[in-house]
Structure 1
Amino acid sequence: MMSNAILMALVPVFFVLLLGYTAGRFHVVDNLHVDALNALVMDFAVPASLFAATASASRSEMIEQVPLFLVLGITMSLLYAAWYLAARRLFKASRPDASIQALTVGFPNLAGVGLPILTSVAGQAGAVPVAVALATGSVLISPVTLIMAEMDAARARGEELAARQMLTAVGRAITKPVVLAPVFGILFSVSDLSLNALAHACLGLIGSSAAGVALFLTGAILSAQSFRLNWKIAAATVAADMVRPLAAVAVTHVIPIAPDTARTAILLAAVPSGFFGILFAVNYRLDSAAVGSMVISSTGFSVATIAVAIAVLFPH
């Protein structure tokens, strides 16, 4: 029974990932120019899904997510800082490359993998913690990475990054629809407003495609990345797929948190590395090959680690 539940949770996810990877590898879709598909996922489908999920939650349900925010915020920040320091000191990476790698290791693929996994395990109610988790990483560590990248770009132009440019970089990170949607949904919920049936149906129509299209996009993006396995990639895979969830376990023993919420936080922390780092690396002409290899390796290895996490955390 347990093995069947794990298969039902994992096989559809990795089937769609492989579908996107195959389509990109055989050029059924253009895997080098995924701007339109990325806009569909990150600007429309996922924001609609996350806003509908958070805005539909009651105020008490949303307040219950505060410990989840704290656990994942601390976990992601710890992994981000640890990998940044390791990349700088051990692998001699530049500041922007180290920050891109740290984002990849610290920020799991919540939109592409976390959403379908958690909704498979916990039902549609799983979309709320995914939205909170996505907002957590997007507000806490994405802006730091963008500031690092902007500083390097300014230095390359012979300029100093002014305070206004730093604020612009932060603003660019936190005003993306995929960040604003769950934030507005959370505000909507805690204001004790209710989303009427018509609005929910409208958002649900586009939002229902979020998980599948996000997985397909992830596969297509990965198909364009060259893969190289070395000690750095192996270390990043272990950090993302094993150290991150274990760090979440440790944090849940420090922060008071309900057992069900703790299990959700740990499962979300076990999700493989996300592809935001690849997109940032491509945009700023950084080392996208290393980041791409990290995501490919982490995603492949997560078949085993997520199966173990589901079996341990959700035995029934």
Structure 2
Amino acid sequence: MLTTIAGALLPVLFMLALGYGAGRAHAFPKDAVAVITTLVLDFALPASLFVSTALVSREALVAEAPLFYALTIVVAAVWGAVFLLGRVLFHHSAAEASIQAVLVSLAAIPFYGQAVLSPIIGAKAGIGVSIGSIVVNVIAVPLTTMALAMGGGGKSASVGKAIGGALLTTLKTPYIVAPIAGVVLVLAGLHLPSLLVAPLQLAGNASSAVGLFVAGLTLAAVKLEITGEMAFNVVAKLAVMPALFVGLAMLFGAKPPIVEQGALLAGLPCGPIAVLLATRHKIYEAESSTALAVSSLAFIATLPIMIVLFAGGHR
């Protein structure tokens, strides 16, 4: 168990610490974060999401359909609930509430998933991680992108024009189009040419490390504050979300492997994508960076609990 926990957490904490140290040492100019964020969101992350999705077989995607359906409902429900609470309870603007919603609903599956699930579930972990990555990036991220686009539409824009503009912005966003294109490719029974796999994987490999590094840089530039809202974000992410998945899966009569995979995936820490979006739009930066760091540290305590509760049959 200790090896599993260390293998999942140490790389993430190392990159966060490396970025934080670079930020405190002023190793980069002020505009570097925006440049690196563009690199991750517009180039590295789309490549990673596309290739990981396109390499999943159609049979595997169909076999894991219950995991896909349950995660989709949970992610969409959590995003909507947190967005409303952000607006009503925490009095945020729509843009700020959308960043809070994606922070809580989007688990760091591309960053932690393989490291956490592989030692527990084995070879099938890759399929679960791919499906989880598809769900969070096709549900939570587009909803956030639309909310951000509508928030910037101006007071004079009609609702129809705001929604239309948001949809257009969403469909032009590389990290949203990429996983959708991968799903279409898989469902159509088409295969990614082998010569393209290695280049795309090489480009995509930068997304995890550099994304966490940027989160560390952002954390170094803001004041770390432990607030009730931060506690809400972390508890909702690490405890409420996996509990909701387990309840939904049991309601639908899902088999134990699906419950185990989904609970472990839903209970992963906040994803760096939320910090990258906050940094790009210059809103909710301190809150998202703090939640990312605290949820990663709190995961040291919650991961063993989840392994005991949900993965006993694999040990």
TM range (shorter): 0.7 to 0.9
Q: Show the counterpart of 2:181.
A: 184
State how far apart, in whole Å, the 1-side matches of 2:16 and 2:122 are: 21
Alpha-carbon offset, residue 184 of structure 1: 1.9
Q: Deviations over 1:257-282 (max 9, x none)?
A: 44333322221211112244444444
The partner residue of 1:194 within 191, 196, 200 is 191
Amino acid at match of 2:33: V
Alpha-carbon offset, residue 312 of structure 1: 3.8
Q: Which runs of 5+ in 2 are unaligned?
A: none
1:240 matched to 2:237? The reply is yes
Q: 1:130 to 1:12 in 2, by over 3 A?
A: same
State how far apart, in whole Å, the 1-side matches of 2:120 and 2:257 are: 12
Q: Show the counterpart of 2:110.
A: 111
Q: 1:289 to 1:261 in 2, by over 3 A?
A: same
Q: 1:301 to 1:85 in 2, by over 3 A?
A: same
Q: Show the counterpart of 2:213.
A: 216
Contact 1:150 1:161 in 2 (8 A): no
Alpha-carbon offset, residue 128 of structure 1: 4.1
Q: 1:44 to 1:247 in 2, by over 3 A?
A: same
Q: Secondary structure at the match of 1:195?
A: coil
Contact 2:218 2:285 in 1 (8 A): no
Amino acid at match of 1:16: M
Contact 2:230 2:291 in 1 (8 A): yes
Q: Show the counterpart of 1:60.
A: 59
Q: Show the counterpart of 2:269.
A: 272
Q: Show the counterpart of 2:289.
A: 292
Q: Secondary structure at the match of 1:141?
A: helix
Aligned-residue RMSD, C-alpha = 2.9
Q: Show the counterpart of 2:4.
A: 5
Q: Show the counterpart of 1:138.
A: 137
Q: Deviations over 1:238-290 (max 9, x none)?
A: 11111111111112112354433332222121111224444444444534333
Normalising by structure 2, we get a TM-score of 0.84
Alpha-carbon offset, residue 229 of structure 1: 1.1
1:165 matched to 2:171? The reply is no
Q: Show the counterpart of 2:256.
A: 259
Question: In terms of mean alpha carbon deviation, does 226-235 or 204-213 score higher?
Answer: 204-213
Q: Show the counterpart of 2:13.
A: 14
Q: Show the counterpart of 1:148.
A: 147
State how far apart, in whole Å, the 2-side matches of 1:124 and 1:40 are: 31
Q: 1:171 to 1:301 in 2, by over 3 A?
A: farther
- How many residue pairs were aligned? 313
Q: Deviations over 1:16-67 (max 9, x none)?
A: 2222222223223457632332333333333333333332222101212322
Q: Show the counterpart of 2:300.
A: 303
Q: Show the counterpart of 1:47.
A: 46
Q: Show the counterpart of 1:79.
A: 78
Q: Which runs of 5+ in 1 are unaligned?
A: none
Q: 1:263 to 1:47 in 2, by over 3 A?
A: farther
Normalising by structure 1, we get a TM-score of 0.84
Amino acid at match of 2:107: P
State how far apart, in whole Å, the 1-side matches of 2:208 and 2:123 are: 12
